[in-house]
Structure 1
Amino acid sequence: MPITSETREAIFLILESALKKVSPPMVSKIDTKKQAIELMGNKPVPYGYDKKIVPGMYFASVAQRKDSVVFYFFPAYYKTDEIKKMAPTLIKCLKGKTCFHFKKEEHVNQKELAALLKHGVKAWIEAGYMK
């Protein structure tokens, strides 16, 4: 059964609310037209093979898609095993390394999501991506 626009909006609002709780210290960009929100670190850092300075290291984002709401969580690249233990319910929606696809509100465990974001912020501070 396809996801309804009401369900998609409800999931988006839950995820958006969780991201807003870590912003600040994270810097957020909101694109209301595309119904997306993105967070990045608050410190300019070198990035890529040429070490070009970027305004902040990408952290996480949420976007609405036709069949789901996607949550990209970049710290998952660095702390994969810890994240699997920390968020067993959310892991069921993980596709690939960093992309969670949510199709039902009950798939979004807010407690696990808050712990995941808190752990990610800590990882970003340790990596030097935040002040």
Structure 2
Amino acid sequence: MLTNPIEIDLALRTLIKAHEDKLQLRKDDSAGLEAAGTIPTMQGKQKVDGHYFASVIPKPKDCRLYFFPIYTDVAAFTDLDPALKKCLKGKSCFHIKKMDASLEASISDMIDKGIAIYQEKGII
């Protein structure tokens, strides 16, 4: 089980980077990682070079995963693993303090589902 925020940060980055062929990394430094789609699209009233997908932000006591598909497509994520749902603070921010193999697999599945949903919409 991972309890060190730095190790959790690396694990979350790895899960998102597994989809680098579909996403662009707008930011990847010690302050965090930000991933977006690669297709120019409208995001609200503004045209962007890629629809925002997710961010990983390390904090001193935990690591934050901001996952936008759960905000844009709430109904698709009603069946979240209870351990993952417990980490959800607000509408799209997960505070990960401990991560075991089961939670990592749940996060990976959630990211895969988000990729599939955004691909269906044609925004990544």
Q: TM-score range by the shorter chain?
A: 0.7 to 0.9
Runs of 4+ in 1 over 4 A off after TM superposition: none
2:115 equivalent in structure 1: 121
Partner AA of 1:70 in structure 2: R
Structure 2 residue 93 is the aligned partner of structure 1 residue 93: no
Contact kept, 8 Å, 1:22 with 1:117, in 2: the verdict is no
Alpha-carbon distance in 2 for matches of 1:68, 1:108: 18
Partner AA of 1:40 in structure 2: A
RMSD: 1.9
Partner AA of 1:111 in structure 2: A
Partner AA of 1:39 in structure 2: A
Matches within 5 A, 1:19-58: 19-34=16-31, 36-49=32-45, 52-58=46-52
Alpha-carbon distance in 2 for matches of 1:71, 1:124: 18
Q: List alignment gaps of at least 5 residues for structure 2.
A: none
Q: Over alpha carbons, which structure has the higher Rg?
A: 1
Structure 2 residue 98 is the aligned partner of structure 1 residue 104: yes
**1:104: Cα distance to partner?**
1.6
Q: 1:33 to 1:11 in 2, by over 3 A?
A: closer
1:3 equivalent in structure 2: none
Aligned residue pairs total 122
Alpha-carbon distance in 2 for matches of 1:23, 1:90: 23
Identity of aligned residues (%): 30
Contact kept, 8 Å, 1:93 with 1:107, in 2: the verdict is no
Q: List alignment gaps of at least 5 residues for structure 1.
A: 1-5
